[in-house]
Amino acid sequence: MSLPYFEINGGPRLRGKVRVGGAKNAALPIMAATILCEGEVLLHDVPDVADVASLGELLMKLGVNVDRRGDGTLRLVARDEMNCRAEYDIVRKMRASICVLGPLVAKRHMAQVSMPGGCAIGDRPVDIHIRALKNLGAEIELIGGDIIAKAKRLRGREMFLGGPFGSTVLGTGNAMMAASLAEGTTVIEMAACEPEVVDLANFLNRCGASITGQGTPRVVVEGVKELHGCEYTIIPDRIEAGTFMVASAITNGEVTIENCRLDHLMAFVDRLAAIGVNVEKAPEGGAVVSSARRLEPVDVTTQPFPGFPTDLQAQMMALLCLAEGNSIITEKIFPDRYLHVAELNRMGARLRKEGPTVIVEGVKRLVGAPVMASDLRASAALVLAGLAARGTTRIHRVYHLDRGYARFDEKLRALGADIQRKEGDEVL
Ligand code: EPU
């Protein structure tokens, strides 16, 4: 079967400016939230990535008109239709489809959403999403692999949304969206504090919701009767920004990253500084990233925000492969999110996985090889490794990358990388 792949000739030092797009993980729940709104919603800076297109398709089926304008703006208008079913075909492709659950129950009083299964980054249960909606008074059954939720009117309540690992990002989103149209006050304890959750709350408030405490573990939602449309700009994608920071550092380059919020990347920038990578605020906003000759090894543990993001773990591992000494990476959000380890080892890395931890023994150089992308962030890590490797790296299954990075190859090429998107048979 002919599929797109990337061919990278490693070596060129990246230089120049790159603009980061709007955050995929903010755009997806905000798009789902438009189910709650009466009237037109205009969303600016929605990234042109496959996951956004998939959710757009699902929303169309659920009765929301979705049009993309050339300037990156999405126009969404909810119709009065009663299709409340998100089928397995689409949920299987994109787990974030679960964020239509809360809005459908709150607005249409009924939702049938296929249970997302596991994925390449491990088991991904949705028990807390279900708990949140039950707390608000929804009746929930699991039938034939579907979650069926019904409620005449949701009622606000106090609820604890933590799990053994910490908080849940989309679970908090679902609870906030549903509580916005519930009767009375909802208090969410152990809410996720990620910037994407804050962006969703800010969007809902712009539509007439009453949410306070976003960005802290205690979020309070006063239910309102209805939400209206609005115009809103999605926050910059901190994970795309972090990925370009590593691209600059791993090629010993100097890249200015525009539309980048350093306050959303403090733990990541702290680790980069410890490695010897220089990250400075650019005079006109954004950041300039330049690298030291020698990369120091560091230890990294992924954690909920403001800790080190799991979505940058794979990219950081690619960089640490080239540090002078041993680093330890521990994954506390998705303990199995390590499919890139075997692929990086194919490129000459020395990585050893011990449970949720990987010991990274720094090597002098990586060597180009054919490798297989397995999930979105793992694919990005392989591209980064390829940029620094000696020789040619072919990365197969780049459709994983296209789910969350818009024109990644083009943006890298504009910075001087030797990367081509090609089509061909998958040979490994
Ligand atoms: N969890 C449960 N039960 C639940 C929900 C989550 O046990 O009901 C566990 C998960 O298994 C995991 C932890 O809670 O161990 C945190 O998962 P979370 O719910 O926060 O993840 P998510 O909301 O499903 C979002 C992002 C992910 C990102 C995580 C963590 C979107 C669309 N996805 O997922 O992004 O890794 O938060 O920050 O926002 C990516 O962009 O590559 C990506 C995977």
Say yes or no: 216 and 356 in one domain: no
Say yes or no: 64 and 148 in one domain: yes
Does 139 contact ligand 1 (Cβ within 6 A)? no
Instruction: Give the pLDDT score at 118.
Output: 61
- Which of the residues in the chain have pLDDT under 70? 117-119, 426-428
Q: How far is the CA of 42 from the centre of ligand 1 (A)?
A: 26
Instruction: Give the pLDDT score at 82.
Output: 72
Does 165 contact ligand 1 (Cβ within 6 A)? yes
* Domain end point (choices 183, 209, 233): 233
Does 378 contact ligand 1 (Cβ within 6 A)? no
Say yes or no: 13 and 40 in one domain: no
Q: How far is the CA of 304 from the centre of ligand 1 (A)?
A: 10
Instruction: Give the pLDDT score at 92.
Output: 86
Token pair, residue 190, equals 């152990």
Say yes or no: 51 and 194 in one domain: yes
- How far is 17 from 37, CA to CA, in rounded Å? 37
Residue nearest to atom 39 of ligand 1 (CA): 25
Instruction: Give the pLDDT score at 312.
Output: 98
Say yes or no: 155 and 247 in one domain: no
Q: Which amino acid is at 136?
A: L
* Domain end point (choices 217, 233, 249): 233
Say yes or no: 102 and 54 in one domain: yes
Say yes or no: 149 and 242 in one domain: no
Does 25 contact ligand 1 (Cβ within 6 A)? yes
* Domain end point (choices 233, 260, 278): 233
Nearest ligand 1 atom to the CA of 130 is 8
- How far is 274 from 379, CA to CA, in rounded Å? 25
Say yes or no: 361 and 243 in one domain: yes
Domain that holds residue 174: 24-233
> pLDDT digit string (tens) for 18-34?
999 999 999 999 999 99
Q: How far is the CA of 196 from the centre of ligand 1 (A)?
A: 12
Q: What is the CATH number of the domain that holds 412?
A: 3.65.10.10
Instruction: Give the pLDDT score at 122.
Output: 73
Q: How far is the CA of 22 from the centre of ligand 1 (A)?
A: 19
β-bridge pairing 326-330 and 299-301: parallel
Nearest ligand 1 atom to the CA of 26 is 39
Say yes or no: 227 and 304 in one domain: no
Does 168 contact ligand 1 (Cβ within 6 A)? yes
Does 334 contact ligand 1 (Cβ within 6 A)? yes
Residue from 170, 174, 303 to probe ligand 1 pocket by mutation (most atoms less than 8 Å from CB): 170
Sheet holding 254-258, edge to edge: 15-19, 254-258, 287-291, 277-281
* Catalytic residue positions, numbered: 119
Q: How far is the CA of 377 from the centre of ligand 1 (A)?
A: 13
Instruction: Give the pLDDT score at 428.
Output: 54
Nearest ligand 1 atom to the CA of 163 is 7
Does 176 contact ligand 1 (Cβ within 6 A)? no
Tally of domains in the chain: 2
Say yes or no: 78 and 133 in one domain: yes
Say yes or no: 163 and 39 in one domain: yes
Say yes or no: 215 and 299 in one domain: no
Q: Residue 209's Cα: distance from chain center in Å? A: 24
